[in-house]
A and B are shown apart, each in its own frame.
Chain A
Amino acid sequence: MQTLLPYLPSLLAIAVLLPLGSFCAILLGAQWLGAKGKFAGTLATTAVLASTVLSFFSAGIWFTAHPAGAVDHAAHEVPPVITGHGYTLATLAGTNVGINYYIDALTIVMFCLVTFIATCIHFYSTSYMHDELDDVVDQEALLEDGESLHRPGRYARFFQSLSLFCFSMLGLVLSGNYLMTFVFWELVGLCSWFLIGFYVERTTASTAANKAFIVNRIGDFGMLVGMMALWGSLGTLNFGDIDQQQGIFSQVRGEENHYALKVPDGMVRLAAGRQIEALALHATEPLTTEQLAAKVNAEMPVWREANLGYGLLIIAGLGIFCGCVGKSAQFPLHVWLPDAMEGPTPVSALVHSATMVAAGVFLVARSYPIFLPEVLLVVACAGCITLLIGASIALVATDIKRVLAYSTISQLGYMMLALGCGGWAAGVMHLVTHACFKSLLFLGSGSVIHAVQTNEMPQMGGLWRKMPWTAGTMLVGCLAIAGIGIPSVFGLPIGLAGYYSKDLILEQVYAFRSENPLWGSFFFAAAAGGACLTAFYMFRMWFLTFWGEPRAAKRFDRAHESPRVMVVPLVLLAILAVCVAWPAFSWFGLPTLSRSIEQARPAGIWADMHGALWHITLPEESKGHTAAVTSPVGLIELGAALAGIALAALFYAWKVLDPEDVSRSFHPLYHTLYRKWYFDEIYQAVFVRGTMALAHCASLLDRLLIDRLVDGLARLGVGLARLSDLWLDRQGIDGLVNWFAEQTYRLGSALRTLQTGSLRQYVMLIVASTVAMFLLISFWTLALTG
């Protein structure tokens, strides 16, 4: 299998392009795909299934060639990476901009993850979306006369967008430079817009789609700034080295520096423009370019010592992170994600929980080599705030999908927190495990919604009797996201997927706390408290949905277990949610998740990092895995999770406590949470209204000042024209012309009297004038000759 390694880029490229092919086929040939595009689902599913097979085959090739976890980071070994150049779009200033690829273990893991989950969701969707095969009566889209909207089904269009999404997401994972990343980044955003606005006739859906798109643009603006900072100073956007051309990573973390982070020469040079100018101007004799370069190089250590260019690297990092904030719904741009639940549930599962929103985390992980500790602190803070906000709002949400959406926000916050605290592997691992159990939970909620035709949990209850498979798999998902596990059995911790990743995160935050007590204590409290909240709101959701007595008898009676094609993906994902992170796979010679991710760890981040501007120390990740940390943290995490579950059970299963009572006694807090911390209202008041007010002011300025000025000028022009018409034209020019005409007329009248009509007179005149001329000339010549 190792011999197939050179073909890996092609294999992955095919895996990327298959969904694109399916997209094009559905787009162009929907009318040939059976009645109402019935086979569109089959086509899209087949394409993504083929991608899955290719991805897992590639994973096989990769991990045969590079056994998982074999990289010795302590000895400054480099993780195996395949970079390459697919197609050149443009050559700018000697650097190629084009379609590049950057393949490492992270790419492989993401490929397997995305394609597998996408396949499950495609299968699920073929059943979930079957209503769209016939004409649809949309109860939620009311026409002006109060009737429900009748429209043709959009089965084919759904799978078309889903295929495009798979293509974009896989392309994003594979891309080897920031430009390609940005292109695919926008493409997934576009797909997200299509899919959120799938029920476009519902005002809520189209508004939500626009909101998601616009909020993401804000983040992308920052990302562009970051990209410009990188391009302007380093002259490349490639991640890795291609054809002896240094990529960004090796410029920031060079081999000569043992892969430790240093501000790259390009950035120092850009920041030290004034000093270089001084060098050139104050030289005693004119310098050649080479001499100047030599002088600059000699000064470089001094400038670097003075932190020149450090700010530029911070801007680059913050800019890239800004894009991730938008895409991964981090505070303060998290507001779009809950609204995005207006899309069909499989979309929520695939796009808005498992894969696309994880793209931000993925990009942070990918760009990790260029992130300075200061930037990572911002990442951690954003993650921490997001985690708390998401978890707190999820406590009181009543819409089942919104609970999951806020839970997604909270878990994304966890990932960012982990990454920001130096836990690269922890963050990426949580990305993978979260994708598994969150897609499971969303598909489960979709199954419930499909059965009871409502999103509101107060109208559910007791559904486990009607839909045991859904209830069971959802329970597994809840346990996984709560992070249930036993810290140590036979030397190895045993638990569900979420346990491993959350454990890693908490350990890393704990290690971070020992280096930076102030920040760290806050982060650790948030992370541990967040774990408790997570367990509480997930089980609140589960109990409200499946436990107790049915609260809406009519809906309960109609409920039924979903068809097998929907249950099987649930079971598959449940299995994944249980065991995806098990370290025990290594006993069978399989690459475990943590060791696979560990292999992709970028060179040089297996070391403490110190901030130059702030006193931040990011501990290397192994410090969190010592026995002194793992046992207390594991217990804290398990305790928090169990406490959350117990609390949820007290409220909603055993009904010892009445949630109504509690919400009444903490009414202000409850209301704040219920109104989602008033974020939408604040944004509405500050940004939307602010923008509107600004626009209004501008329009006032336009109308009152500029328009009047222009109008006045126009009026002045008209007046002047009238004046000139009266005086100049009529009096002056017309008068002149008329005067000439008159004079000519008079002359003509005077001369006409000569025309007597008498021939003899004429003859006499001729004779007389001839004689006169003769005499005149004679006298003249006489006078001349004297």
Chain B
Amino acid sequence: MSFLYEPIGLSHYLAVGAFLFVCGIVCMATKRNALGILIGIELVLNGAILNFIGFASPYFRDENLGLDGHLIALFVIVLAAAEAAVALAIALNFYNNHATIDVDRASELKG
């Protein structure tokens, strides 16, 4: 538990990211509500973004502008927004058809 005493560095970023990621996964695995799953996805994405941010630290590497990790993080945020829009649209449609957003009821494409 040494990193609890260290100043904030890469490992802290990674720990928080991993925590968020696991929370997201657990959320996706346990929720039946489509919106809950959507939230889990957002958590997973944000956990991943934290990794990018952490590795983009100027202390970690010498010769770079220190911006590429941040840019990728911005991209992922934009992607997440778009994904959320699409997923919400699917959820709405699903609700229109089945009067519920319980993903266990969505089994029409089952093999």
Contacts and interface: CB of A to CB of B under 8 A. Distances in A.
B28 interface: yes
B111 A760 contact: no
Interface string A760-771: 100110010000
Contacts of A784: none
Contacts of B109: 755, 757
Interface stretch (B12-20, B70-78, B99-107): B99-107
Contacts of A28: none
A751 interface: yes
A767 B25 contact: yes
Nearest to A754: B111
Contacts of A757: 106-111
B46 to A, nearest CB: 17
A760 B107 contact: no
A756 interface: yes
A769 to B, nearest CB: 13
Contacts, number: 37
A755 B110 contact: yes
A288 interface: no
B29 interface: yes
B104 A758 contact: yes
Nearest to A761: B29
A752 interface: yes
A760 B30 contact: yes
Contact of A752 (B30, B104, B107, B111): B111
Nearest to B32: A760
A767 B29 contact: yes
Contacts of B50: none
Contact of A764 (B29, B32, B37, B106): B29
A759 to B, nearest CB: 5
A764 B28 CA distance: 9
Interface string A280-307: 0000000000000000000000000000
B31, B37, B104 interface centre (most CB from chain A within 10 Å): B104
Contacts of B25: 763, 767
A461 to B, nearest CB: 120
A760 B106 contact: no
Contacts of A767: 25, 29
B104 A751 contact: no
Nearest to B25: A767
A758 B107 contact: yes
A378 to B, nearest CB: 104
Contacts of A760: 28-32, 103-104
B32 A756 contact: no
A763 to B, nearest CB: 4
A556 B77 CA distance: 133
Nearest to B28: A763
A753 interface: yes
Interface in A407-429: none
Contacts of B104: 758-760
Contacts of A756: 107, 110
Contacts of B107: 756-758
Contacts of A751: 111
B105 to A, nearest CB: 10
A688 to B, nearest CB: 88
A759 B111 contact: no
Interface in B27-70: 28-32, 37
A754 B108 CA distance: 14
Contact of B29 (A753, A755, A763): A763
B10 to A, nearest CB: 20
Nearest to B27: A763
Contacts of B37: 759, 763
Contacts of B111: 751-755, 757
A760 B32 CA distance: 8
Contacts of A755: 109-111
Query: Which of A752, A756, A763, A767 has most B Cβ within 10 Å?
Result: A763
Nearest to A760: B29
B16 to A, nearest CB: 19
Contacts of B110: 755-757
A761 to B, nearest CB: 9
Contacts of B30: 760
Shortest beta-carbon contacts, A-B, top 10: A755-B111, A757-B110, A752-B111, A757-B107, A763-B28, A759-B103, A763-B29, A764-B29, A760-B29, A767-B25
26 contacts: A751-B111, A752-B111, A753-B111, A754-B111, A755-B109, A755-B110, A756-B107, A757-B106, A757-B107, A757-B109, A757-B111, A758-B103, A758-B107, A759-B37, A759-B103, A760-B28, A760-B30, A760-B31, A760-B32, A760-B104, A763-B25, A763-B28, A763-B37, A764-B29, A767-B25, A767-B29
Interface of B: 25, 28-32, 37, 103-104, 106-111
Given A757-B111, A760-B103, 20 more contacts: A753-B111, A755-B110, A755-B111, A756-B107, A756-B110, A757-B106, A757-B109, A758-B107, A759-B28, A759-B103, A759-B104, A760-B28, A760-B29, A760-B30, A760-B31, A760-B32, A763-B25, A763-B28, A763-B29, A763-B37
